[in-house]
Amino acid sequence: MLEMAAIHAHYGRGQVLCGIDLRVGAGEVVALLGRNGAGKSTTLKTVMGLVHSVAGETRFQGERIDGRPPEAVCKLGIGYIPEDRRIFPGLTVEENLRMGFFQRDRISAADRRDRIDELFAWFPLLKQRRTQDGKTLSGGEQQMLAIARALAGQPQLLLIDEPSEGLAPMIVDDVFNAIQRMKESGIAVLLVEQNVRRALLVSDRAYLIEKGQTVLTGTASQWLVDDDLRRRLVV
């Protein structure tokens, strides 16, 4: 579904990605792991067109997407949840969810209502808050809202950046339960997460990034029992 081959990218004159190679198959959850500053978040931003690659190719369902603007990438069926969530603080929960429909073309009013109901079934707490402004939600509730908004557009692939950061353990459970449901629903996920064990438990495969390069790959089950590898992942 997603393939990145020999991707290089810069912030100004500083090179951040120095040869990223990865793939995400249909319905897979793939973890992107590594120390802080390794280039994980930049990899997601490069897929979305928020950072432009200067070499290599990014393909989605066989079609090159590198060089396209973020709105065009989004329309192809790729959703993105950034590390800082970026909900609309002055809109209600339901209004935030409706903003997710802009990822899709020509969705009927009936389909919108049905999709909102589905999302509230996934996230019952959001249903209780449906008329509250985003700025009144807790950090965990905002994270759930960001995930639900991305799902509103029914993406085929979802890029998630550090979903558990700063959240209480109970809310972290809810977030990873949601990722598991995505997997069961056939939504592919590329996940950046510092909680290595939680990321591996929900993933099929994983990549290790060091200094802007993918240096190792393997199945999540293998990595869970590899002590040497886990030591390389300590932040």
Distances, alpha carbon 157 to alpha carbons 56, 133, 191, in Å:
21, 28, 11
Domain boundaries, the chain: 2-88+156-232
The values of phi and psi at residue 159, to 5°, are -100, 120
Q: What is the pLDDT along the chain (235 residues), one digit of tens a residue?
A: 999 999 999 887 788 999 999 999 999 999 999 988 899 999 999 999 999 999 999 999 999 999 899 999 999 999 999 988 788 999 999 999 988 887 766 777 787 788 898 899 888 889 999 999 999 998 889 999 999 999 988 899 999 999 988 888 888 888 898 899 999 999 999 999 988 989 999 999 999 999 999 999 999 988 888 777 766 666 5
Global pTM?
0.90
Pair type for strands 29-33 and 188-192: parallel
Contacts of 14 (CB under 8 A, 6+ apart): none
Fold of 2-88+156-232: Rossmann fold (3.40.50)
Identity at 83, one-letter amino acid code: E
